[in-house]
């Protein structure tokens, strides 16, 4: 990447983050809440994008990593009375450990087999959350009361139930993940992941340990997804089994495909559009998913590489 491309990249992403920050002051309450939720879910999509977009690992089990973060944070708060910071740490750790274990086994397979194996692991995780209903409250879920969601900061305590605090917390997590992703995809590791996606055998012939690189990619991807899950639990005060279901493995795939796989901004764009598409369609008609389906078909017809992916392919070649 040339110097001018780097400058343009920094300016574009800086402008996006500044624009999102500015929206805190102008958005009405409803959209303010939606944007906070979209930013957190975008982090999930960005995590998924590391595995799918950059490394070519089509996982159908990422819901388990999101849910590992969600329950990893919510269970200690709910049952053990932990505070927010250690609970967030527990959520991240749960996602990382689960991702490493699942990847060690699933990466022995390729292609369709990898999809099926990750899906099976995810279903086991989902059924486990239902089996231990005593602790997880199954589909009904755990509701974390306002008092449980107080964040200790050097200046004092703040409540994450407050809409503004929630927005800024979501923005901070989103910004951090965006910067990490930008750094990651331009790094030696990130370039190696793209090369593995392009031609795994060739990388092996050059002397790269492909298994180790894919394992690392899954660990990073799973941890970022878990970070989104943990943040979701403490910011929105809810953890239910539904987040471990297959729907939450399909959604990040759709968000990433719609926004543009292997693009840094694609996951955010895809999540935002999908969220509002469902939201708007459901306010007009009961079979709203039909409308969403048609809209998605049209988008894919005109933006075959996803929205940001097509923009990059046709006009802005420098987009990361």
Q: Is residue 210 close enough to count as binding another protein by CB under 8 A? A: yes
Interface size with another protein, residues (CB under 8 A)? 19
Cβ nearer to another protein, comparing 104 with 206: 206
Longest dimension (CA), the chain: 57
State how far the Cα of 149 lies from the Cα of 161, in Å rounded to an integer. 7
Count CB neighbours of 98 within 10 A: 24
Q: Is residue 195 close enough to count as binding another protein by CB under 8 A? A: yes
What is the bridge-based pairing of β-strands 142-143 and 238-239?
A: antiparallel
> Which range touches another protein (CB under 8 A), out of 41-49, 109-117, 187-195, 217-225?
187-195
Contacts of another protein in 260-279 (CB under 8 A)? 262
Binds another protein by CB under 8 A, chosen from 29, 134, 188, 315? 188
> Which range touches another protein (CB under 8 A), out of 28-36, 134-142, 176-184, 191-199?
191-199
Contacts of another protein in 20-59 (CB under 8 A)? none
Contacts of another protein in 118-137 (CB under 8 A)? none
Say how many CA atoms lie within 13 Å of 57 toward its Cβ: 33
Beta bridge partners of 151: 158
Cβ nearer to another protein, comparing 79 with 191: 191
Q: Is residue 192 close enough to count as binding another protein by CB under 8 A? A: yes
> Which range touches another protein (CB under 8 A), out of 104-112, 126-134, 188-196, 276-284?
188-196
State how far the Cα of 239 lies from the Cα of 136, in Å rounded to an integer. 8
Cβ nearer to another protein, comparing 143 with 313: 313
Cβ nearer to another protein, comparing 235 with 308: 308
Q: Is residue 208 close enough to count as binding another protein by CB under 8 A? A: yes
x/- letters, 244..263, toward another protein (CB under 8 A): ------------------x-
Q: Is residue 206 close enough to count as binding another protein by CB under 8 A? A: yes
- Closest approach of another protein to the CB of residue 191, in Å: 6
112: Cα separation from own chain's centroid: 22
Distance separating the N- and C-terminal Cα atoms of the chain: 9
> Which range touches another protein (CB under 8 A), out of 137-145, 147-155, 184-192, 242-250?
184-192
- Closest approach of another protein to the CB of residue 58, in Å: 17
- Closest approach of another protein to the CB of residue 201, in Å: 7
State how far the Cα of 15 lies from the Cα of 20, in Å rounded to an integer. 8
| CB of 43 closer than 8 Å to CB of 228 | yes
Spell 263-300 as b/e; 16+ CB within 10 A means b: bbbbbbbbbbbbbebeeebeeeeeebeebbeebbeebe
Surface-to-core class of residue 140, CB atoms within 10 Å of its CB (0-12 exposed, 13-18 middle, 19+ buried) = exposed
Say how many CA atoms lie within 13 Å of 72 toward its Cβ: 28
The token duo for 49 is: 């994008």
Binds another protein by CB under 8 A, chosen from 207, 283, 302, 315? 207
Q: Is residue 194 close enough to count as binding another protein by CB under 8 A? A: yes
- Closest approach of another protein to the CB of residue 52, in Å: 15
Spell 40-54 as b/e; 16+ CB within 10 A means b: bbbbbbbbbbbbbbb
Q: Is residue 201 close enough to count as binding another protein by CB under 8 A? A: yes
Under the rule (CB under 8 A), what is the footprint of another protein? Answer: 2, 188, 191-192, 194-195, 198-199, 201-210, 262
């Amino acid at each position: 990447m040339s110097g001018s491309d780097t400058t343009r990249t920094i300016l574009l992403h800086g402008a996006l983050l500044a624009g999102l920050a500015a929206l805190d002051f102008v958005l009405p309450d409803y959209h303010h809440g939606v944007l906070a939720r979209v930013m957190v879910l975008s982090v999930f999509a960005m995590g998924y994008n590391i595995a799918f977009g950059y490394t070519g690992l089509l996982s159908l089990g990422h819901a388990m990593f999101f849910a590992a973060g969600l329950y990893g944070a919510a269970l200690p708060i709910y049952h053990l009375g932990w505070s927010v910071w250690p609970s967030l740490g527990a959520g991240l750790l749960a996602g990382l450990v689960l991702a490493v274990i699942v990847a060690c086994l699933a990466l022995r397979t390729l292609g369709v087999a990898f999809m099926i194996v990750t899906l099976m692991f995810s279903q086991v995780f989902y059924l486990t959350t239902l089996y231990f209903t005593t602790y997880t409250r199954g589909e009904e879920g755990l509701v974390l009361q306002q008092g449980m969601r107080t964040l200790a900061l050097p200046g004092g305590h703040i409540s994450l139930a407050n809409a503004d605090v929630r927005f800024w917390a979501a923005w901070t997590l989103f910004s951090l993940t965006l910067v990490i992703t930008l750094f990651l995809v331009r790094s030696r590791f990130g370039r190696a992941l793209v090369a593995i996606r392009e031609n795994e055998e060739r990388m092996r012939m050059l002397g790269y340990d492909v298994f180790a690189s894919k394992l690392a990619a899954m660990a990073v991807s799973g941890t970022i997804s878990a970070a989104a899950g943990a943040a979701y639990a403490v910011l929105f005060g809810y953890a239910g089994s539904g987040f471990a279901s297959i729907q939450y493995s399909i959604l990040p795939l759709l968000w990433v495909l719609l926004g543009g796989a292997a693009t840094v901004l694609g996951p955010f764009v895809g999540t935002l559009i999908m969220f509002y598409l469902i939201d708007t369609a459901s306010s007009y008609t009961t079979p709203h998913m039909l409308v969403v389906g048609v809209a998605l078909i049209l988008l894919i017809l005109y933006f075959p590489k996803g929205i940001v992916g097509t923009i990059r392919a046709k006009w802005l070649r420098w987009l990361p």
